[in-house]
């Protein structure tokens, strides 16, 4: 369970990676409102420590609290077939500081185990039209290289991540994310976005 939780935490951190490297310096969650949500469809294959499995499900981010200084997200992962449903996570994002997705993975409800380290660096970028969920988006894509040091039995993880971002999508703007690594491959696509209020 620790393995799956840790790998899911890395995927959740990838939601906002492009925001860190974007030219805009404003926190991508600054304009979020309570009730705003984004649901992502997730498909992945994992192979680590002699375990190989596929996972398919959804990840939902919902703004549950907001003021001038912080946004609190509730992150719910639903993967049918897991023996235990992952608990909902709460993630507090400080709006007074630049957004740091590594903190989203390593602490404050992100789910990585103690002693984990994660670093990201920007790769290539471009523009592309992407169709997901029956809708076409004008996107800016970026590649990101990540390295994570995770406790055994997981070990070191090297990631190549490509994300497609659109200003037409709230909560960080992610339309699609592909992650390939030595431990797992994952694709996340926007399924639905809106406001519950």
Q: Where are the domains of the chain?
A: 2-195
The H or E element spanning position 21 is helix 17-21
Whole-number Å distance between alpha carbons of 45 and 54: 4
Contact 174, 191 (CB under 8 A): no
Q: What is the structure's pLDDT at 63?
A: 95
The residue that leads in pLDDT, 25 or 143, is 143
Q: What is the structure's pLDDT at 85?
A: 81
The H or E element spanning position 7 is helix 2-13
111 three-class SS: coil
Whole-number Å distance between alpha carbons of 112 and 132: 29
pTM, rounded to two decimals: 0.79
- Each residue of 90-136: pLDDT tens digit? 888 889 887 765 555 444 444 455 566 777 788 898 999 999 988 99
Whole-number Å distance between alpha carbons of 181 and 21: 21
- Each residue of 33-82: pLDDT tens digit? 999 999 999 998 877 666 777 889 998 999 999 999 999 999 898 888 77
Query: Which residue in this structure is represented by tokens 């709460």?
Result: 90
Give the pair of three-digit tokens for residue 27. Answer: 């926190």
Q: Estimate to the nearest angstrom the gap between the alpha carbon of 62 and the chain centroid.
A: 13
């Amino acid at each position: 369970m620790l393995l799956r939780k840790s790998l899911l935490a890395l995927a959740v951190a990838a939601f906002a990676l492009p925001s860190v490297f974007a030219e805009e310096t404003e926190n991508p969650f600054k304009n979020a409102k309570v009730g705003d949500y984004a649901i992502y469809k997730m498909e992945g294959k994992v192979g680590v420590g002699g375990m190989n499995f596929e996972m398919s499900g959804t990840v939902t981010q919902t703004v549950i609290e907001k003021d001038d200084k912080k946004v609190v997200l509730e992150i719910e992962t639903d993967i049918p077939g897991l023996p235990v449903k992952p608990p909902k996570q709460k993630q507090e994002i400080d709006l007074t500081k630049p957004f740091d997705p590594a903190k989203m993975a390593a602490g404050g409800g992100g789910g990585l185990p103690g002693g984990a380290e994660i670093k990201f660096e920007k790769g290539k970028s471009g523009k592309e039209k992407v169709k997901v969920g029956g809708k076409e988006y004008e996107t800016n894509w970026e590649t990101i290289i990540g390295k994570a040091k995770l406790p055994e039995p997981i070990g070191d993880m090297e990631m190549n991540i490509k994300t497609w971002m659109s200003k037409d999508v709230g909560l960080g703007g992610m339309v699609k994310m592909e992650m390939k690594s030595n431990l797992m491959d994952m694709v996340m696509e926007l399924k639905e976005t809106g406001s519950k209020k």
